[in-house]
Amino acid sequence: MIKGTVFYGHPKDVDAFEKYYAETHLPLVSKTSGVVKAEYTKFLPNPDGTAPAYYRMAELYFDGLAELQQALNSPEGKAMAADLSNFATGGVTIIFGTVE
């Protein structure tokens, strides 16, 4: 299984981010075939009260590398990726790995 992890930096406007993320971006993710599981995390402050390194994280799971590539190259996958610039004002870091 392959996992894509998306780390979202702290947005300039949290309320705008959350509204767009829930109403526009997540529906794009759900329309992308090949995503077999998705998990979303909103980070808490660190134990010492400081801000976490990232604001949110999304983890998208795929059966294998071919399925990941097919999903990302589909019209839905391209729309999902292109949409990031519409709301992720704190920046985005995306990494991929094999789940063991």
Q: What is the per-residue pLDDT across 33-64, written as a single tens digit (0 to 9) for each?
A: 999 999 999 999 999 999 999 999 999 999 99
Bridge-based pairing of strands 92-98 and 37-42 is: unpaired
Q: How confident is the model at residue 26 (pLDDT cuts 50, 70, 90)?
A: very high
Check which CATH number belongs to the domain holding 49 and give it: 3.30.70.100
Q: What three-state secondary structure class fits 49? A: coil
How many other CB atoms are there within 10 angstroms of residue 78's CB atom? Answer: 13
The token pair at 82 is 């292109």
Look up the domain containing 49 and give its range. 2-98
Q: Tally DSSP H helices, then E strands, for the chain.
A: 4, 4
Q: For the chain, how many structural domains are there in total?
A: 1
What pTM was computed for the model?
Answer: 0.93
